[in-house]
Chains A and B, each alone.
Chain A
């Protein structure tokens, strides 16, 4: 049937949006971000002592900036993602949030997060974070069994720490630099290294192994709409506060990744 040829790619596109706007959510995104060992060392030192950051002029550390040789293209994709968010994603997410209570949406988000346990587990191992690996494993088992398939984050409620590791962070600890900024249409902000990370982590995503493409699409779409519904307002706030929202987003992405790599 002809219309199936349109529906499935469109559905696939929507499904692909899943990681796209997750930059604001420290937990959901799989986008990696690498960073040279040298700067990481300095960053750790700076964190250790507040006064050390101050410098002579008290103007704070200038820090390294993320190279952005593709800026015009990235800006174009930024505009595209912006339209997509306001015209499609946000209205759908809002409608969804009127129908589904917040507690349920949080539960659904917990289920999806629980499913990406392999990503966090493997990357903890890559980074020799054995404590993290075991705590993630414990949380996964506890939440899956006692938490109704991950719906209830029992481990989290008990105070177990979350280790949001991904391949990008692992590559960073191996010494790979980020390369440069890439702002993907649909997927959102990333870097050269980050993109490799996204692809690599994708293989550990259980949704990839669902039998039918219909099921895959359904899962990804629900995840996307659900997680967006929990973050409506974040992007708008960023735009409202920024003089240049594109740079604000790029820098926020960058700084957040630096933090996650550090810890």
Chain B
């Protein structure tokens, strides 16, 4: 019978064990990037608004190594992608990537020492999912699922789900809603406006 006391014992024992039983290359690469970013965020020399541009530049460069913004953009448009001209595709990817990067940047800069653990990985050919848990200061555990695709030797993230809410799906629903009522140029206009927001 499971008792909380037994759980206490198990927790104490497993605290000494390695974090993930099935840590493969996708997890390692993800962890590598995440750790690099955490180092940047906790670097005392890079703190404060005066260092903001330099700090963000470094974070952006590191994030670009792991996030496939183009793929995220494509997937977020779903079935609309095929209907676009080359020009429209390019503009969209450019704008949307900037929105994603900025959103990511803002979330990441809120980092204040949360512990990140890697709890599981599944690999299926060129696709993988890596699950993380972020322990907040309020003692809540946020499950984050990273969906990755192998690109050459690098595993790149093409979707992130937090508490079951997929970023790509969420934007896709929004885009579908907008495109059901207005032309693509309207979507681009909204994106442009959003990206230039402060």
Contacts and interface: CB of A to CB of B under 8 A. Distances in A.
A246 to B, nearest CB: 9
Interface of A is mostly: helix
A2 interface: no
Interface string A36-60: 0000000000000111111001111
Contacts of B115: none
Interface centre among A54, A109, A139 (most CB of B within 10 A): A54
Nearest to B3: A138
Contacts of B177: 244, 247
Interface residues of B, number: 55
Interface in A178-211: none
Given A62-B78, A247-B173, A51 B127 contact: yes
A260 B99 CA distance: 29
A237 B166 contact: no
A158 B7 contact: yes
A172 to B, nearest CB: 14
Given A59-B81, A60-B172, 14 more contacts: A49-B124, A50-B127, A59-B79, A139-B4, A153-B139, A157-B11, A158-B4, A159-B11, A240-B106, A243-B187, A255-B165, A256-B163, A259-B163, A260-B164
25 contacts: A50-B122, A50-B123, A51-B126, A53-B127, A59-B81, A60-B168, A60-B169, A102-B137, A131-B2, A156-B139, A157-B139, A159-B8, A159-B10, A230-B138, A243-B174, A243-B187, A244-B174, A244-B177, A247-B174, A247-B177, A251-B170, A252-B165, A255-B169, A256-B163, A256-B165
